[in-house]
Structure 1
């Protein structure tokens, strides 16, 4: 399966490289686009769950790395929940 990284800029301007075991991320995000925090979280949940399931379909088990990435995104996003207008920018894709 083609894996990829997608680089995100959090509300505190920190850039993080996130992992996906599938290119499905490209169906849910556009580089250079800024998403409201809640929208980013939901898109991440959907995309990384699909990616983990694609691994299951091919290899017979869920991708724990994709689910771990989702957990890290959830934890990071929780830090900014109280910030009004918090948003996340998709900086780039790396295949």
Structure 2
């Protein structure tokens, strides 16, 4: 299962490197695309849960690192919910 990292930029301009145990995230994000905060979180939730499920199917257990990454994204996103029209830029995939 090909692991992949990806870089995002939060509404305040800070960047973050995120992790997925599966390249399934490529189906949910486009490099250099900008997403509404809620849409970004929803896509990340779907992609990282699917990635974790793939690990479970292959190895018999969920990927705690993918689920932890999702929790980090959800927590960080909550910091920006009060902004007017917050957006997250998906910068790139990192192999």
Report the TM-score when normalising by structure 2.
Answer: 0.99
Alpha-carbon distance, 1:92 to partner: 0.6
Q: Secondary structure at the match of 2:82?
A: coil
Deviations 1:15-73 (A, max 9, x none): 00000000011000000000000000000000000000000000000000000000000
Long gaps (5+) in structure 2: none
Aligned to 1:10: 10
Alpha-carbon distance, 1:74 to partner: 0.2
Alpha-carbon distance, 1:8 to partner: 0.3
State how many pairs are aligned: 95
Matched, 1:52 2:84: no
Report the TM-score when normalising by structure 1.
Answer: 0.99
Long gaps (5+) in structure 1: none
> How much is the aligned-residue C-alpha RMSD, in angstroms?
0.4
Structure 1 ranges of 4+ moved more than 4 A = none
